[in-house]
Amino acid sequence: MKLPIKVVLIVSLLFTASFSQEKVYKLKLATTWGPTLSPLIDSAKNMAAMAKKMSNGRLIIKIDASNKHKAPLGILDMVKGGHYDMGHSASYYWKGKDIATLPFTSMPFGLTAPEQYAWFYYGGGLELMQKVYSKHKVLSFPGGSTGVQMGGWFKKEIKTLDDLKGLKMRIPGFAGEIMANLGVQVTNIAPGELYTALERNNLDALEWVGPSMDINMGFHKIASFYYTGWHEPASEMQFIVNKKTFNKLPADLQEILRVSMRLAAYDMYAQNYDMNATAWDKIKADFPDIKVKTFPKEIMDAMKKANKELRTSLSAKSFELKEVLDSQDAYIKKARAWSQMSDFLYIKDNIQ
Ligand code: CA
């Protein structure tokens, strides 16, 4: 029997559709973090678990932590080169290769986490990020925020600018350059050696993240002044996807991947908020002598001045960086009045 051509076409289309429904896509993701570094590694794990469930097992993402691939700061290169399909890291790690990637993590005195998410998803931030990353042949997405990071643990109280002169402190990146401008002796020490360095006075101060991650490092046992944040108000982690890999995925899996990354990012922010609250509750109960301090105005003003000068000199070298910074500045100008009259005043008038 000869089937009409129309029927043959429909049957073959159905076959192709059901075949592509069954095809399993396996991607490999490399993280900057070790296998147990919560909450950072959890963001990548949650994303992969959601993608697997939502796709009914058609999208499988295998995660290699840094102990596996041994290149924690080489994620962009590995994803760009196709050695990995995806990465989970932080955009400011690539500032040496491409300075315009710096602001997508966090900028000193920049956006808070809610402001930054609003900027990414509704204020043009995500589009700017794709533009910056297009030359690296990868797509980049928010990967989870630590929220505001603390200014660090200090062994002595900092009252004047003179107290900072010659102070040995671990504070990396752009913020480190600002501190160096104020006379701080900025020292780079591997994370595993920080506790001993602080204990043996090879360091007078250091910044890490916030209570959620600081508690496991034990700094609160040897330094009793905990300064509030200014330098990383909303550090956003980052998912990177090789563009070719992404384009090869069927449209529904692309959407599942996009949604999984977005939800995992929000979830890390919530998870870390809870971890911070829990850790601080314990630290302040176990170590009641720890004093939370904010840098005096004289120091804050000097930091702001150094920050402005550094940004101006870097922006002069990169129009792309200037475009991102200008976009963030314009967003702060618009959003900060609302942040102030909503959460800030509500909390100020309702301190427990
Ligand atoms: Ca930090």
Domain match, 177 and 304 both: yes
The pTM of this model reads 0.92
What average pLDDT does this structure show over 246-257?
98
Please choose, from the candidates 78, 100, 98, the residue with its C-alpha nearest in 3D space to the C-alpha of residue 89: 78
238 and 226 in a common domain: no
How much distance in Å is there from the Cα of 207 to the middle of ligand 1? 6
| Alpha-helix residue ranges (DSSP H) falling in 55-172 | 66-69, 75-80, 113-122, 125-133
Residue 184 lies in a domain: yes
pLDDT of residue 352: 82
> Do 27 and 139 share a domain, yes or no?
yes
pLDDT digits (tens, 9 = 90+) for 62-107: 999 999 999 999 999 999 999 999 999 999 999 999 999 999 999 9
**pLDDT over 90 for what percent of the chain?**
91
pLDDT the model gives residue 3: 53
CA of 220 relative to ligand 1 center, distance in Å? 16
Q: Do residues 299 and 180 both lie within one domain?
A: yes
Task: Kindly give, in sequence order, each residue whose CB lies less than 8 Å from that of residue 25, ignoring residues fewer than 6 positions away.
Answer: 58, 59, 60, 249, 253
CATH code at 264? Answer: 3.40.190.170
9 falls within a domain: no
Are residues 117 and 99 part of one domain? yes
Span from the CA of 123 to the centroid of ligand 1 (angstroms): 25
Asked if residue 6 belongs to a domain, the reply is no
Do 65 and 118 have their domain in common?
Answer: yes
- In terms of domains, do 113 and 214 share one? no
Residue 2 lies in a domain: no
Q: Are 88 and 196 found together in one domain?
A: no
User: Do 226 and 243 reside in the same domain of the chain?
Assistant: no
Please tell me the distance between residue 308's alpha carbon and the centre of ligand 1 in angstroms. 20
**Average predicted confidence (pLDDT) for the chain:** 94
Question: Ligand 1 centre from 232 Cα, in Å?
Answer: 7
Total domain count for the chain?
Answer: 2
Q: 188 pLDDT band (50/70/90 cuts)?
A: confident
- Chain segment 124-162, per-residue pLDDT in tens: 999 999 999 999 999 999 999 999 999 999 999 999 999
1 within a domain of the structure (yes/no): no
- Tell me, in angstroms, the distance from the centre of ligand 1 to residue 105's CA: 11
Domain contains 349: no
Checking if the pLDDT of 2 tops 70, the result is no
Structure token digits, residue 55: 């796709």
Q: How far is the CA of 80 from the centre of ligand 1 (A)?
A: 26
Indicate the pLDDT class of residue 6, thresholds 50, 70 and 90.
low
- Give residue 173 CA to ligand 1 midpoint distance, Å: 9
Band (322; pLDDT cuts 50, 70, 90) = very high
Residue listed under structure tokens 């702060």: 332
- The Cα 323–Cα 125 span in angstroms is 11
Structure tokens that stand for 258 in this block: 């996009």
C-alpha of residue 33 to centroid of ligand 1, in Å: 14
Residue type, 248: K
Q: What values do phi and psi take at 108, rounded to 5? A: -50, 135
Write out pLDDT tens, residues 24-56: 999 999 999 999 999 999 999 999 999 999 999
Position 7 confidence tier, pLDDT thresholds 50, 70, 90: low
pLDDT at 139: 98
Residue 195 and residue 306 in one domain:
yes
Tell me which residues have their CB within 5 A of the ion that is ligand 1. 149
Domain assignment present for 279: no
What separation in Å is there between the alpha carbon of 50 and the centre of ligand 1? 28
Tell me, yes or no, whether 51 and 185 share the same domain. no
3-state helix, strand, coil in the chain (%, to 5): 55, 15, 30
Which domain CATH number covers 218? Answer: 3.40.190.10
Same domain, 129 and 188: no
Mean pLDDT of 222-246: 98
Per the structure, the complete domain to which residue 174 belongs is given by: 157-230+289-316
- Amino acid code (one letter) for 133: Y
Task: Report pLDDT for 190.
Answer: 84
Q: Tell me, yes or no, whether 327 lies in a domain.
A: no
